[in-house]
Structure 1
């Protein structure tokens, strides 16, 4: 990474990653304390979320999956409202009705969070078609994992997007795990990108733990989509450092593999790059880390002070 490639915006990327990590750590601790049902964290995948979302424009739409906290926070979501939502409080983004698995935030362009594996893939084509038909600016970024890529809807979605020429950035966060099953137990190949290419979608594999590489690839892909309106796919190689559900530890993971990926922690990589290039110092990074944790403590206080929804809201927005 050349010195010219790292500007002041690099510190903003690190700042967002530190906030996501602090949020996830708090979520894990609260879940372990039994304060709400088990949640799915994206601990260890911060660079993938931050690098891609930082490349999106205000008019772009986002569809994501059950490990959505990083995408939402990278988009600028208020951690207090996010914690309030997870805790079922009225000041959450969906007034406490969605929990962590179905958060939507229209004001941020986050159309939905889908707990159904591949559910966001089934809707991304529709959202992009609406954007195109209505003449709206903005592409659609669709986040999913390697498990969803094994679903039939992956092929259906990409096939339609390629055939209809839809402005979709497909982002596969290949974190090596599909719930409690390792990727190698369900896939013969190592990568998802060739599947996309066989369907006529340009695809690129990127180190998903290098936020600078992710951001550069996402910016280039978005630029090409805006130029020709056709879909692209980024496969981000990363690793889920926690279990499927919090507060589970990744007990099923091979110890050597887990140790290898912990050494490649995206925050560690980003910090080392900035320090080596003289773009930050240890004291400054420590201040940023403390500020992130302080912000999450304030967010928790906000969420805990938020009331539960009134009983007469129980059936609101229920149509069947």
Structure 2
């Protein structure tokens, strides 16, 4: 085997560390493993944090690249379907924040749980719901992951509890999920996500208190994309060091535009939470779209800011460069992935546009899993009604 090495130097936002890739393979494009340096983590009430030297295998690199590209193209398609009035109601896109859900999910297992806010499409996909399940849910079709009943903000999957529409309300629910895991003696965590706009909600601090009192295996994650609706973090919060806002709960600041930093940070946080109780992560990221589809996203921030982030900090572009410069992938391999992802999303979109809608008689179904004896629900399906007679 012939050893080779490559260096990728890039400054992101004027502050990113130099990146060093050390190859362990035979030739360009066939390296089996590489090591990279990620930006230093900031710590709160922690004596040590995750390693800034991260090792990546070729298989994991290709997988994470595909996952981020899928989320990006899925969200682009969702935006197009909304503009075509095929998707109605609320629609909050995740474009730009892909490194958070992909990095974290690759440090977790299906036994771990996740609950998030209304910018949920990327997390829904990463929790095991297909592109079809996400897009059909957005268009209100039966092939959606909630039969089209939930829409953008209320998607669910295995150990994925949504998608929630009330700002910050999912945080105490996440503590409850973590409590259930601990009560049952499971080696599992609950990742509870919220945005910087929800970070000043009172129920967060009540939840931090209870989680610490009971040392629940919960990772609280502030996805700080810089803006709560149209208000910048500097105008909304007296303290923008969100990773310290848990006070007595330890905190970790992570570059949320770096999928490798997110994966390594989550590994550390999961190990900590299982042994010691709750920990808080601030993932500093950025959204390219507006808060929702009714927000152009340019009235409170200059277009040049968005363009600069796309050019210097984009999570997919930077990760692509790492894969290429380290020899973990070739241009041809990544182009093939791009083509396959585009086809998958386009095929799913066609079905999401043409699949049948849920019939009206289904309106009151699935309200209760196990209705109390004698309870009758108007329009309820016959199987449930039969069990209550």
Do the structures match in fold with TM over 0.5? Answer: yes
Q: How many residues align?
A: 315
Please state how far the C-alpha of 1:318 moved relative to its aligned partner.
Answer: 4.5
- Which residue of 2 is the match for residue 114 of structure 1? 164
Which residue is 2:116 aligned to? Answer: 64
Among 2, 8, 18, the alignment partner of 2:69 is 18
Mapped contact 1:29–1:247 kept (Cα < 8 A): no
Is 1:203 aligned to residue 248 of structure 2? no
Pick one of 157, 160, 163 that aligns with 2:210: 160
1:251 pairs with 2:298: yes
SS in 2 for 1:6: strand
Give the distance between the partners of 1:128 and 1:20, measured in 2 at CA.
27
8 A contact 2:153–2:162 mirrored in 1: no
Partner in structure 1 of residue 191 of structure 2: 141
What do the CA deviations read for 1:135-176 (whole angstroms, capped 9, x no partner)? Answer: 233110111111111111111111111111000011111000
| DSSP-derived class of the 1:315 partner | coil
- Larger Rg: 1 or 2? 2
User: Any conservation in 2 of the 1:207–1:237 contact (CA below 8 Å)?
Assistant: yes
Counterpart contact for 1:28–1:247, Cα < 8 Å: no
Higher helix proportion, which one? Answer: 1
Q: Cα deviations across residues 226-247 of structure 1 (Å, max 9, x unaligned)?
A: 2x15111111111111101126
- Given the two structures, how large is their TM-score scaled by the length of structure 1? 0.94
Q: Give the whole-Å Cα distance in 1 for the aligned partners of 2:56 and 2:212.
A: 34
Q: How does 1:164-243 map to 2 (within 5 A)?
A: 164-196=214-246, 198=247, 200-226=248-274, 228-243=275-290
Cα 1:311–1:133, aligned 2, differ >3 Å: closer, same or farther?
same
Q: Distance in 1 between matches of 2:161 and 2:127?
A: 12
- Give TM-score, length-normalised by structure 2: 0.78
Cα RMSD after superposing both structures: 1.6
Query: Which fold has the larger relative contact order, with Cα–Cα distance below 8 Å and residues 6 or more apart in sequence?
Result: 1
Residue 273 of structure 1 is aligned with which of 319, 322, 339? 322
For 1:99 and 1:229, locate their aligned partners in 2 and report how far apart those are by CA, in whole Å: 37
The separation in 2 between residues aligned to 1:285 and 1:173, in whole angstroms, is: 28
Instruction: State how far apart, in whole Å, the 2-side matches of 1:194 and 1:140 are.
Output: 20
Alignment of 1:36-55 (within 5 A): 36-37=87-88, 38-55=90-107
- Tell me which moved more, 248-257 or 151-160: 248-257
Summarize deviations over 1:197-240 as a string: whole Å, max 9, x none.
Answer: x1x212110110000111111111112222x1511111111111
Contact 1:89 1:303 in 2 (8 A): yes
Unaligned runs of 5+ in 2: 1-19, 22-33, 36-54, 369-376, 378-389
CA distance in 2, matches of 1:274, 1:32: 34
